[in-house]
Chains A and B, each alone.
Chain A
Amino acid sequence: MKFVKKRAGSKTEIPTASMPDIVFMLLLFFMVSTTLREVEVKVQYQLPSAKAIEKIENKRLVQYIWVGSNGSIQINDSIVKLNQIEPIMYAKRKALPNVIVSLRIDKNTDMGLVTDIQQELRKATALRINYSANLKAKG
Chain B
Amino acid sequence: MAMIKKRKLQEAQIPTSSMADIAFLLLLFFLVATTIDVDTGIGLTLPEYVENPETVKVPKNRMVAILINANGDVLMDGKPVSIFAIKDMLKPRIESKIDLPDNQKLIVSVKTDRQTKYNTYIQALDQIKQAYFEVRDQYSQSTYGKKFKNLDAKETEDIQKNKIPIIISLAEPESIKK
Contact = CB atoms under 8 A, between A and B. Distances in A.
A109 B33 CA distance: 31
Contacts of B116: 110-111
B38 A55 contact: yes
B18 to A, nearest CB: 10
A51 interface: yes
A45 B130 CA distance: 25
Contact of A54 (B43, B115, B118, B123): B43
A119 B170 CA distance: 11
Given A30-B31, A33-B34, A37-B35, A108 B126 contact: no
Q: Which of A102, A105, A131 has the most CB of B within 10 A?
A: A131
Interface string B20-52: 100110110011011100111111111111000
| Interface secondary structure of B, over-half rule | mixed
A55 B39 contact: yes
A111 B40 contact: no
Contacts of A27: 23, 26-27, 30
A19 B35 contact: no
Interface stretch (A3-11, A73-81, A120-128): A120-128
B173 interface: yes
| Interface secondary structure of A, over-half rule | mixed
B129 interface: yes
Contact of B112 (A37, A111, A122): A111
Contacts of A107: 117-119, 122
A115 B114 contact: yes
B61 interface: no
Contacts of B27: 23, 26-27, 30
Interface residues of A, number: 52
A88 interface: no
B148 interface: no
Contact of B119 (A19, A108, A112): A108
A139 interface: no
Interface string B83-111: 00000000000000000000000000000
Given A110-B118, A112-B114, A133-B42, A123 B20 contact: no
11 contacts: A26-B27, A27-B26, A52-B133, A55-B40, A102-B41, A107-B118, A111-B118, A112-B115, A132-B41, A134-B40, A135-B40
Interface of A: 16, 19-20, 23-24, 26-27, 30-31, 33-37, 48, 50-56, 59, 62, 100, 102-103, 105-112, 114-115, 118-119, 121-123, 125, 127-135
